[in-house]
A = this chain, B = another copy of it.
Amino acid sequence: MKHLRKELRFHTESESEVVNITRSVEAAVFESGVADGFALVYPMHTSSTVYVSDSDSSLTEDLADLLSDLVPESRPYRHNVTDSKENASAHLKAVLTGHAVTLPITNGRLDLGTYQTVYYFELDGRREKEVIVKILGE
């Protein structure tokens, strides 16, 4: 059995930003030497989220807009009283989008569909953030 823990680091310029991380995850899979297994792509923060979607970048803007409608920043959240960062909506958007993903590895590569792209969605940026790629297999 083989395993690898790879750290990806982010510091976005905007508070909200979507980053295509497919190549970084692929690089970690290659480095692990795992031919068959799983790659868990896991944000170490609860105000960011990782998801898989279509390669079209305009869809990432549609997702950001939808989440802003479903989880408005201006809602009176209790967390924004107890925590000065006032990022309750960021945390809740991360829960609704699943926070982390587990991806299949086959023949030493991410086993994704043609248009599938792995995205890091920063919901509370302008500071240091980390995502762990944890790989397990043989």
CB distance from A90 to the nearest CB of B (A): 10
| A83 contact from B3, B56, B88, B99, Cβ within 8 A | B56
Number of chain A residues whose Cβ lies closer than 8 Å to a Cβ of chain B: 60
Is there an interface contact between A58 and B81, defined as CB atoms closer than 8 Å?
A: yes
- A69-113 vs B, CB cutoff 8 Å, 1 = contact: the mask equals 011000101110111000010011011111111111010000111
Is there an interface contact between B36 and A62, defined as CB atoms closer than 8 Å?
A: no
Q: In whole angstroms, how far apart are the Cα atoms of A138 and B37 in the complex?
A: 12
**Cβ–Cβ < 8 Å partners of A104 in chain B:** 5, 40, 42, 132, 134
**Cβ–Cβ < 8 Å partners of A79 in chain B:** 54, 56, 58-59, 62
Interface on A for B, CB 8 Å cutoff? 1, 3, 5, 36-38, 40, 42-47, 51-54, 56, 58-59, 61-63, 66, 70-71, 75, 77-79, 81-83, 88, 91-92, 94-104, 106, 111-116, 130, 132, 134, 136-138
Is there an interface contact between A58 and B78, defined as CB atoms closer than 8 Å?
A: yes
